[in-house]
Amino acid sequence: MTLTTTRKSDVTWQPLQPRERRWARMGQRPAIAWLTGLSGAGKSTIADAVDRGLTEAGRSTMVLDGDNLRQGLNRDLGFTAADRVENIRRAAEAARLMADAGLVVIVSLISPFRAERAAARAIAGDIPFLEVFIDTPLAVCEARDPKGLYDRARAGKIPNFTGISAPYEAPEAPDLALQTRNQSVMESAQPLIDALLNLSADRPTRA
């Protein structure tokens, strides 16, 4: 097998037209909301509610859901610590591309490690980035168990299961923390809808 490698110094950044021209055409500013929390916390459910709410309000959006990414872009990755790190890096890079194109991007990914969430924020660069903690206690997630995963994890059938056999590092200073216990989905989602509507409002680049 012949391996061809490209040295970083051989790659140059191809300049593109200013992002602001795309954004002005779309009449909105991009943003990234990064939803983190345990399995069953409500990330996908809230991401969908926020996505629909923003669409209704006339925004252009995209959702990057961890489960969906694992069926395509990240299908080669498992759940070891190294693979979770790569899973998050790719999601962050994809979110950044979509945001550069002008979309409001909602990422729902367990993303259990603080360092990787910080790395995702760094990849977002100057794109407004909200770390959103879906703050649902483990016991509530386990009682919900929408996919039957906790049952199987407790039975030792799923290795490296976050909250059971793998760590979850809760955010220490999230931009937003959403409770879901004894709240409707819309009650949980509304603060994030409001924050993203505000961030993505079109502002003229020149006064």
Instruction: Give CA–CA dist 188/35, Å, rounded.
Output: 12
44 contacts Mg ion (rule: CB under 5 A) = yes
Please report how close the Cβ of residue 156 comes to ligand ADP at its closest, in angstroms. 20
183 binds, among Mg ion, ligand ADP, none (CB under 5 to 8 A by kind): ligand ADP
CA 68, 161, 130, 139 dihedral sign is positive
190 binds, among ligand ADP, Mg ion, none (CB under 5 to 8 A by kind): none
Phi, psi of 109 (to 5 degrees): -150, 135
Which one, 26 or 77, has the nearer CB to Mg ion?
77
Which one, 42 or 102, has the nearer CB to ligand ADP?
42
Write a three-state SS string for 38-98.
CCCCCHHHHHHHHHHHHHHCCCCEEEEEHHHHCCCCCCCCCCCHHHHHHHHHHHHHHHHHH
Q: Which residue has the tokens 């923003």?
A: 54
Active-site residues: which are they?
111
111 contacts Mg ion (rule: CB under 5 A) = no
- Is 125 annotated as contributing to ligand binding? no
Instruction: Give CA–CA dist 61/73, Å, rounded.
Output: 19
- Tell me how many residues contact Mg ion (CB under 5 A): 2
Please report how close the Cβ of residue 161 comes to Mg ion at its closest, in angstroms. 14
- Is 40 annotated as contributing to ligand binding? yes
Q: Would you tell me which residues interact with Mg ion (CB under 5 A)?
A: 43-44
Annotated binding site for ATP: 37-44
